[in-house]
Structure 1
Amino acid sequence: MIKFEFIDIFKTLILGALGASIAFHFGFPAPFLMGPAIVVTLACLAGQKMLITPNLRDICFIFIGLSMGTSATPDVLDAMVKWPVSFIVLAFCVYLIMVFGSQILTKLFNFKPIEAVLASTPGHLSFVLALSEANGADTKKIALVQSMRMLALTMIVPFVLLSLDLELPQLNIIRTLMPIYLITILAIAAAITGFICKKLKMPAAYLIGGMFISTATHITGAVDGVMPQWAIIPAFIIMGCLIGTRFNGASWGLIKNILLPSATYFVFAFSLAAAAAGIVYMLTDLPFAQVLIAFSPGGVEAMIAMALLLNADPTFVAAHHIIRLFILAALLPWMLARLNKKLKKHS
C-alpha cells in the first residue's frame, strides 16, 4: 500500500514538474501553478491515479504561508485602512454569486435546488462536500463543478491580467534571502501554529500558520529577508498538482456532461467578481488587478499562491479570501436551512 502510494506521489510530482517546465518555457503567467494543474488534470482524465498526501499538502501550505508574510511592511499597514470598504463589497459579491449562480444552475441546467446552492458556493470545498453528504445531494456532481471552477480560475486569471495589461504594485524589492537555519526555525513554528489552527477548525490552517509566523516576525523586524526560489517554487508546483488531483476518478463523459453548466456558472461568477473589484477600485484606488485576484470566486490557497507569483500584495489577497471563507461558513447553512424549509412547505 505504501509502495503504491509512493509511486502515485512520485508520478504526480514528476508530471507536475514537467508541466511547470513547459509552462515556464512558453512564457505562461504563473507557470509553476498553471502548468502542473493542467498536466495533472489531463493525467487524471486519462485514468492515471494522481496523489498529493495531506502531509505533503500541509508542508506546501506552510512554505506558501511563510512566503506571504515576507511582504508585510509599514506600507501594507498604511493600506489596510482602505480594506473594510473592500470587505463589505466582497460580502455582497459572495451573496449575489450564490443567489444568482444557483438560479442559473437550477433554471438552465435542471440542477436540484440544494445541489445548485452547493455547486454555486464560491469556495470552502470541504465544508460544501460535508453539507452535500448531510443533505443527500449528488456529491460527485457538486465536486466536479467546484473542481472545474478551481481549475478555470488557475488558468484564466493570469491570462486576464496579462491580456488587459493590468499593472500590479511592485512589492518584490531587492532583499536578502533568508538562510536555511532561519527558514527551518520559521517552518517549525509555522507547523505548530498551523496545528493549533487546525484544532480550532480554521480553514487553510497550515497556510494561516505560515502566514501568521512570517508576518509577525517580519513586521516587528525580528526577521528580514525573502524565501529563496528553491524553497518556494516546489511549493507552487505541489499546489498546482493538488488542484489537478481533484479530477481523480472523473471520466471524459462525466466532464462533458458537467462542462457547460460549470462554464456558464464560472463566467457569471467571475464577471460579477470583476465588477465588484471595479467598484472597490473606484472607491479606494487600490490596484484593480490586486483586487481582482482577491475577489476571484474561490481557491484560497491557489489565489494566494497566484498573488505571490504575479507580484500582488499577498496579505491583501489572503485577508479577503479568508474573510470569504468565514462569510460562506455563515451564509451557506442559512441558505440551505431556508431552502429546506421552503421545499418542505411545498411538499
Structure 2
Amino acid sequence: MNATPSGGLRPSFAMALTIGACGGAVFTWIGMPLSWMLGAMTTAGLASILHLPVKGWARARPPMSAVIGVMLGSQFSPHTLESAALWWPALIGLAGYLVVSAVLCTLYLRRMVRLDPVTAFFSAMPGGLIDMVLLGTERGGDERTIALMHSSRIFLVVLGLPPLMTLVTGADPGARAAAWRPLANMGLADVAFFLGAIALGTALGRLARLPAPFLIGPMMVSMALHWSGTTGFTVPSAVIAVAQIVLGTTVGCRFAGTSTRRILHILLTSAGSTVILLGVALIFALALQYVIDVPVEGILLAFAPGGLAEMSLIALALNLEVSFVVVSHISRIGMVILGAGLVSRWRLAR
C-alpha cells in the first residue's frame, strides 16, 4: 500500500499521476485514439522502466472503478435485455475462445519460454489477474512472474487494440470517439444520483461479495436508476478522462520496483502470448459477426483479455456497444476463474 501513515497520498503516486496526465495531454494534442488512457499508461510505464520514483497506489483504483461502474450502468437501457437474448452464440463462442487461447498460450509458455507447468498455466489464462495470482501461488507457481505476465498482457492489449481495429476494419478509432459531454450538463440532482449510486453500489457490492464489487455494485445501482426512469444523467467527459488517467497510470506503474532487464524480458515474453490471444480473438470475432448483430470491432473488444474496466472504457471512448462488452467480460472472468480452478485441481490430482 503506497500511502502515508496518515492515509494520504504518497509523492511517488502523485508524481506518477502527474506524468500520466502529461502523457494523456500530449497524446490528446497529437490526436491519438484513447489518448488519456494510452498516454498515461505509456508515460507511467516508461517512468517505471527508467526507475523514476513512481509507484501505484492501491486506494486509487476502487473509487475510479466505482465511477466507471456508474458510467457503465448509465449505458444500459430497456432494450438491452432484448438484445442480450440474441447474444448467446457469442457467449458460446467466448467459451471456445478461452479454451483455444489458453491451450495455445500454455504450450507457448511451456515449450518456447520454458516456464514451469503451474506458472505457465496460470500466466496463460486470459483474464482474472488477482485471482490467477492467488490460485497460481496456492498451486506452487511463481507469484511474481504470474503477476508481471498478466500486468504486461493488460498493458499490451490496451496498447495494441486501436491499431488492430484500424488494420481489420479500416476505421479510425479517433473518429469514432463519443461526443464531448460538458460538466455544465450535470445538474445538482444528477450529481446527487451519481454520488448516491457510487455510495450505495459500493456498499451493496461489498455486502453481497460480488466479483469486482467496486465496479459491479455501482453499475447495477446505476442500471436500475436508468432503467426505472428515475434519472437519465450522463457522466461528463472530463470525469471519464480523469478515470482514464488514473487507470492508465496504475497499469503503467505495475512495473515499478522491477529491474529494467526483467521488465523488458517479461514484455517480450508476454508479447508472444498477447499476439496469440488477440489473433484467436480476431478469428472468433470475424466468424461471429455473421451470427450476431454486433460489429466485428465490438466483438473483438468484448473478447480481448485486457481487463474489464479498461475494455469498458475503450468501448465508451469508441462509442461501441458497451452493454455487450460488459456482459462478455464479466462472463469471461467467471469462466476463467471457474475453469482454471477446476483444470488445475484435476491436473494436480493426477
Structure 1 equivalent of residue 75 of structure 2: 71
Q: Structure 2 residue aligned with 1:125, among 116, 126, 129?
A: 129
Pairing 1:222–2:226 present = no
Gaps of at least 5 residues in structure 1 are 343-347
Aligned to 2:194: 186
Count of matched residue pairs: 342
Tell which deviates more after alignment, 183-192 or 280-289. 183-192
Residue of structure 2 in register with 1:250 after alignment? 258
- 1:250 aligned counterpart, secondary structure: coil
The one-letter amino acid of 1:272's match is V
Quickly say closer, same or farther: Cα 1:173–1:49, change in 2 above 3 A: closer
Instruction: Tell me which moved more, 270-279 or 171-180.
Output: 171-180
Q: 2:60 aligns with which of 33, 56, 74?
A: 56
Q: Letter of the aligned partner of 1:264 in structure 2?
A: G
252, 272, 277: which one aligns with 1:269: 277
User: Where does residue 23 of structure 2 map in the other structure?
Assistant: 19
Match for residue 85 of structure 1?
Answer: 89
Is 1:39 the counterpart of 2:46? The answer is no
Alpha-carbon shift at residue 83 of structure 1 (Å): 1.2
Q: Deviations over 1:87-107 (max 9, x none)?
A: 111011112211221111101
AA of the residue aligned to 1:85: P
Give the TM-score, by structure 1 length: 0.91
2:312 matched residue in structure 1: 304
Which runs of structure 2 are paired with 1:134-145 in the superposition (5 Å)?
Answer: 134-145=138-149
| Deviation per residue, 1:98-154 (Å, 9 max, x gap) | 122111110111111111111001111111111122122211111111111101111
Instruction: Report deviation, 1:75.
Output: 4.2
Pairwise CA RMSD: 2.4
Residues 36 and 180 of structure 1: CA distance in aligned 2, closer, same or farther (over 3 Å): farther
Query: Which digits, 9 at most, give the CA deviation of each residue in 1:186-229, with x for residues without a partner?
Result: 32332332233234432221111222122211122111131112
CA distance in 2, matches of 1:201, 1:237: 27
Aligned-pair CA distance for 1:46: 1.6
Aligned twin of 1:107: 111
Q: Which moved more, 1:196-205 or 1:233-242?
A: 196-205
SS of the residue aligned with 1:36?
Answer: helix
CA contact (8 A) 2:123 2:150 kept: yes
| Per-residue deviation, residues 143-176 of structure 1 (Å, max 9, x unmatched) | 1111111011111111222343248998958989
Q: Report the 3-state secondary structure (helix = DSSP H, G, I; strand = E; otherwise coil) of the residue aligned with 1:54.
A: coil
Q: Is the CA contact (8 Å cut-off) linking 1:101 and 1:268 kept in structure 2?
A: yes
| TM-aligned CA distance change 1:36 to 1:172, over 3 Å | closer
Q: 2:32 aligns with which of 28, 32, 35?
A: 28
Q: Does structure 1 residue 161 correspond to structure 2 residue 174? A: no
Residue aligned with 2:105, SS: helix
Structure 2 unaligned residues grouped into runs of 5+: none
Partner SS, residue 239 of structure 1: helix
Deviation at 1:271, TM superposition (A): 0.5
Q: Report the 3-state secondary structure (helix = DSSP H, G, I; strand = E; otherwise coil) of the residue aligned with 2:33.
A: coil
Q: 2:11 is matched by which residue type in structure 1?
A: I
Decide whether the 8 Å contact of 2:178 with 2:317 is kept in 1: no
1:32–1:236 Cα contact (<8 Å) kept: yes
1:345: which partner in 2? none
Task: Return the match for 2:98 from 83, 94, 97.
Answer: 94
**Mapping for residues 285-300 of structure 1, pairs under 5 Å:** 285-300=293-308
User: Given the alignment, which residue of 333, 340, 345 partners 2:348?
Assistant: 340
Tell me whether 1:241 sits opposite 2:245 in the alignment: no
State the 1:257 CA deviation: 2.6
Give the deviation of 1:33 after TM superposition: 0.9
